[in-house]
Amino acid sequence: MLNFDTPPKGWGEYGGIFIHLPISNFEANCFTASGEEKPMKQCDPMGDDSVKLKGSVSEENWNTMLRMLETLEFYEGEREERPISELVQITKPLPNTEITSPLTIEGKARGFWYFEGDFPLRLVNKDDAILYEGPVSANGKWMTEDFVPFPTTITFKAPDDERGYLVFERDNPSGTPENDRSYRLPVLFPPK
């Protein structure tokens, strides 16, 4: 947990940023108020005991985290959103292309479009009925501001409709509406 010397406006004194990194040689030890070590099973950190954590983070992961922190921006009021074409780009299929199952999809998205290396994909008909829904995985390291490629293949049952959409959604684990973004790529289904 990273805490601020001076928190951004509105964050309060307990505001911080939680960062999850792989730690090797992890060790947790419990100490009483007088400094004596005691077994973790008997530890009461909500009482007078304290827990000391030790371990190491690889230099690569540490540098990635620092680069991510450098990209954080705090702002007040409205901010212009980036155009969707600067966030996700699809190279296959092209818009308004006739598609069949199985369908190979290729493109790239900015690292922050993913969460834990995935983002949601849906194929819907013209009325937004779901024909396919599942995750798309990054083909490379996704903890970056740069574009990260993704390939995926989906299977679906073609509807009676002529038109549909591939919906590429930014993964938004926070659930906050201002972080929601999606790109709808129009596709065609062959006539039955």
Model confidence at 5, pLDDT cuts 50, 70, 90, reads confident
Residue with tokens 């007078």: 48
Model confidence at 74, pLDDT cuts 50, 70, 90, reads low
Rounded Cα–Cα distance for residues 103 and 2 (Å): 43
At residue 78, the pLDDT reads 53
Model confidence at 31, pLDDT cuts 50, 70, 90, reads very high
At residue 68, the pLDDT reads 72
Q: Is 110 left (phi over 0), alpha (psi -120 to 50) or beta?
A: beta
Cite the residue boundaries of each domain of the chain with CATH code 2.60.40.2550: 84-188
At residue 75, the pLDDT reads 58
What fold characterizes domain 84-188? Immunoglobulin-like (2.60.40)
Give the tokens for residue 65: 């985290």
Q: 3-class DSSP state for residue 188?
A: strand
